[in-house]
Amino acid sequence: MLHEVLLSLSGHPSPLLRTDLSPDASALAGISPPERQLLASAAHLSDIHIKLIKHTARIANAHPSAICRAVATAIKSTHLAAFQRKVLEVEESILQENPDLVGAYNIVPLTAVMGEFKQWTRRMDWLWEVVQYMSSNSAPGGVLCAGATIMERLRIELQSGYKDVKDTALTLVTAGEMTWLRQVSAWILYGKLPVVGGEDFFIQSTNDEQEYAIIPRLLPSFTTSATASSILFIGKSINQIRGRADIKTSFGEIESISSNLHEISQLTSPVSTASLAKTIASVRKSLSEKTLQAILPAKKVVDMMQLLRGFFLLGRGEFAMALSQQADETMRKRSQRTNEFPMSSGVVRDGEVSSTLTRAWASLVSMQRQQSDEDSEMDVARQLLQLRLIKSEPTPPITGIGLSEEAAAVLATLPFSRDLFNQPATLSIQLPSPIDMVISLSDLHLYSCINSYLVSLRRAHIRLAELWKLTSLRRHHPAPKGAGDYSYELRERWSYRADALRSTWSTASAAMFFLGETEAYFQLEIVEGLWQSFRTWLGGDDKPKKKPSSRPSTRSSELPFRPASRHSTAQLDDVEMGDSEPAPSQTTVTPSHDQQTLSNGHTLYLRTLCHRLLLTQPVFINHLHSLIGQINLLVDHVRSLHEVFIAADLETDAGVVDSSTDREALEANILSNIRTVERNIKHLTRVVIETLEALSNDAEFLAEWEGEHLVRQEEDDLSPGEPYRPVRLGGVDRLLMKLDFGSWFGRQPEPEPRDGYDDEEM
């Protein structure tokens, strides 16, 4: 029987230790009840051992996680092997008649034999729980246990209070963490993702093979978001460096890799958060000093950020003006060919969109020739910028700090990209290597979102201002006294038109005022304020000199609508924003940050800009876009009415009759549409202001405005130098103070009298 027990404990099932035997069957086999209890303990150990052998082999061979495979292998090679050795030791002691086990007359008590395995019961049960956990679908979505999950479970077990469980868990933690560190080493030393268990690594490639993203679910608990970001940056940089033939040889220096590998090998299990962050910071510093500084000077990165500020964030207002004018010209020509209304003039082709940008560049070049100085920044932008229709390709993932999933979803569905061509179009840039190490595709996607937003506001402002250039609609010279009947007829015609358009000009002036104040707030206080603080952090001049304006400037006091309000303080230089940012050569920048610090600071700057521009507030964005659409519709209707008036003048004064249209019915229809649009503009303007007032009283929004959540994830970053912290700017209250429309909205309802009083008693 002892032979059968030991054979069963070694992992071979035995009918003697079957737990389903009845007491009668045990009695027939000569097994007493006390022996049956001891054999039940042996049967339990045997059953656990057999299950562990089977399941650890399956996990080690087929589990998708390399860490789970390593843990299963450690269980099998360390703990199950130790249990097997223990069985052999007991068997050897019995054969050698060790007095600890063998008594008088060579009797071996079953109690003594099972006492040798008593300390293994809790350990084997705990190992079986671990194996079951790795085999189960413990993660959300029914997927198998991830490496980060099992490492977290084992690290918790280190605090169980049982020494044997703690020692066992420590060996498994070591196996799992060393496997994870080998994966990290392959990534930060060679830029290679793990082949086996790659779907379990916290860094994975996206749809674009050149872009990688962090999967938070797969991130171990001892790795902070800042450390994970550094690991991602190092591997991405090495991948891009390996694609550059001019630096392959210098990068392959063995001493650099060996020194970094030595740093990683100094980590001991369990890995602490501080030691891992310090090691990764050391590797990052080594990469920056020995490789990145040579191929990617920080000055080059700052110059590219200056270019993005100028052309995407409308620092160079003449570019936005030229682009808007050429886009309107494209839509106007298409509407003339198709005889459709400008707001719905068919589908625009890719060639028309690209030619729009080409004509915009030609317009800017013609203005540049009038100046003596060269504009190298615009020459670079002409080579890199692209205007294209948005097809069905996937949008780059918006990753990094500062954006929740809800905010990212709002940014992904912004409606402003349709405003230029009535279908989605975006301004993009093809970043040259190796600048794309610092400025990611996600950052460029945000630049495109912000650009479409700001250009939509600017375009509506420009188009509305151009209505005042229609002199025949706006200004009529009275005929002198004593004039003939024809002058009297002209006076009657002009008086009728002036009366018909009086409310239109009032609405247009109010909309002009709203757009001017809103754009001034966004451009001068938000965009420029954040850019100045960011440029100061980069190491640039605090107040750079501006280039001479390429267009004459019209102060806001010359705008046609200036309501009587002391809060009206718009200082936006011209609807066309001729003042532009200086070229990179005019700004002395001496940055002292490494490449990842620049990347993190730039990402935080962009995310903060999205919040401060209210791009993450869907209610405000939807109402504002509707208002901009109604303003553009008003402009189109007024221009159509102007054409009808011209046709009427030709028919009355010169006898030129257009029999293809019913002019009077068309004029009445357009005037009716204008009245509807006027009411919509007034209503939407009030709604937008009420939305701003609600935001100014929203505690959650105000906390988001301060941006503390944007920098919280960077507190544990060990990067050299001072991390970027967004400057605090005035809230939406500053904009609300300026948006005072006086009595344009009509008389406000008076508050109800208090109980017990009426108006006469008061």
Tracing tokens 């868990």 back to the chain, one arrives at: 169
Give the single-character DSSP code of 427: E
Tens digits of residue pLDDT in 352-376 = 899 999 999 999 988 877 776 678 8
The pLDDT tens digits of the residues spanning 244-299 come to 655 554 544 556 788 888 889 999 989 999 999 999 999 998 888 888 888 888 88
Q: Where are the beta strands (DSSP E) in 385-473?
A: 385-389, 425-429
- Residue 276 near residue 266, CB atoms below 8 Å: no
DSSP-based three-state secondary structure for 705: helix
Predicted pLDDT at 577:
40
pLDDT at residue 202, as a whole number: 93
CA distance 236 to 188: 9
Residue 94 pLDDT > 60: yes
Looking at residue 561, its pLDDT comes to 39
Q: Residue 704 pLDDT more than 60?
A: yes
The answer to whether the beta carbons of residues 688 and 707 sit under 8 Å apart is no
What is the per-residue pLDDT for 558? 37
| Mean pLDDT estimate for the chain | 81
Pick the more confident residue, 753 or 698.
Answer: 698
Confidence at 100, pLDDT banded by 50, 70, 90 = confident
pLDDT grade for 555, boundaries at 50, 70 and 90: very low
The more confident residue out of 25 and 185 is 185
Whether residue 6 contacts residue 91, with contact meaning beta carbons closer than 8 Å, is answered with yes
Give yes or no for residue 727 having a pLDDT over 60.
yes
How deeply is 757 buried, as exposed, middle or buried, from its count of CB atoms within 10 A (0-12, 13-18, 19+)? exposed
pLDDT band at 548 (very low <50, low <70, confident <90, very high): very low
For residue 387, list its beta bridge partners. 427
**Which of 743 and 349 is assigned the larger pLDDT?**
349
Residue 428: beta bridge partners? Answer: 386
| Better-predicted residue by pLDDT, 335 or 703 | 703
Which residue is associated with the tokens 């008036």?
A: 645
Give the pLDDT confidence score for residue 30 in this predicted structure.
55
Mean pLDDT confidence for 65-85: 93
User: CA-based angle 263:266:267, to the nearest 5?
Assistant: 105
Fold of 300-475+492-539+593-741: Four Helix Bundle (Hemerythrin (Met), subunit A) (1.20.120)
pLDDT given for residue 288 in this prediction: 85
Q: Residue 759 — very low, low, confident or very high, per pLDDT cuts 50/70/90? A: very low
Which pair of structure tokens corresponds to residue 397? 């993932």
Higher-confidence residue of 609 and 101: namely: 609
- For residue 426, the cross-strand partners are 388
Nearest to 531 by CA among 585, 581, 575, 569: 581
- Per-residue pLDDT band at 481 (split at 50, 70, 90): low
Confidence band, pLDDT 50/70/90 cuts, at residue 740: confident
Calpha distance 428→408 (Å, rounded): 19
Q: Which amino acid is at 557?
A: S
Mean pLDDT throughout 332-356?
Answer: 73
Instruction: Give the pLDDT band of residue 714 (cuts 50, 70, 90).
Output: low
Rounded to the nearest 10 degrees, the angle between the axes of helix 298-311 and helix 528-538 is: 170
Q: State whether the Cα torsion 311-315-319-322 is positive or negative.
A: positive
Identify the weakest region by mean pLDDT among 260-269, 323-332, 590-599.
Answer: 590-599
Q: What is the mean pLDDT of residues 563-578?
A: 39
The model's confidence at residue 46, banded by pLDDT at 50, 70 and 90, is: confident
pLDDT at residue 392, as a whole number: 66
DSSP single-letter state for residue 669: H
Q: According to the model, what pLDDT value does residue 663 have?
A: 80
The closest alpha carbon to 210, from 188, 186, 193, 230, belongs to 193
Give every CB contact of residue 335 below 8 A, 6+ residues apart in sequence: 341, 342, 345
* pLDDT score at 206: 77
Question: pLDDT (tens digit, 9 = 90+) per residue, 201-216?
Answer: 999 887 665 678 889 8
Q: Grade residue 586 by pLDDT with cuts at 50, 70 and 90.
A: very low
Predicted confidence band of residue 484 (pLDDT cuts 50, 70, 90)? low
Q: Any idea which of 73-82, 399-408, 700-709 has the lowest mean pLDDT?
A: 399-408
pLDDT at position 372 is 60
213: which strand partners?
Answer: 204
**Helices within 373-440 (DSSP H only):** 376-384, 405-412
How do residues 664-701 score in pLDDT, each as one tens digit? Answer: 888 899 999 999 999 999 999 999 999 999 999 998 88
pLDDT top residue among 588 and 342: 342
* Model pLDDT, residue 307: 95
- Write down the pLDDT at residue 399: 57
* Higher local confidence (pLDDT), 56 or 255: 56
Please, which residues bridge with residue 371 across strands?
none
Asked if residue 712 has pLDDT above 80, the reply is: no
Residue 308 pLDDT greater than 80, yes or no: yes
Residue 443 pLDDT exceeds 50:
yes
pLDDT above 90 covers a percentage of the chain that reads 40
125-139, 184-198, 476-490, range with greatest mean pLDDT: 184-198
* Lowest-confidence pick of 96-100, 148-152, 392-396, 442-446: 392-396
pLDDT of residue 465 exceeding 50, the answer is yes
Which range has the top average pLDDT, 290-299, 383-392, 748-757? 383-392
- Alpha carbon distance 592, 721 (integer Å): 7
Q: Which pLDDT score is estimated for 106?
A: 73
If pLDDT is split at 50, 70 and 90, which confidence band does 710 have? low
pLDDT of 214-240, one tens digit each? 898 999 999 998 899 899 999 988 888
Tell me the C-alpha distance between 315 and 321, whole Å.
12
What is the residue extent of each domain of the chain? 1-243, 300-475+492-539+593-741
Q: Name the more confident of 431 and 658.
A: 431
Tokens standing for residue 7:
């054979």
pLDDT exceeds 80 at position 760? no
Dihedral sign (CA 268, 274, 277, 281): negative
Q: Give the per-residue pLDDT at 60.
A: 92
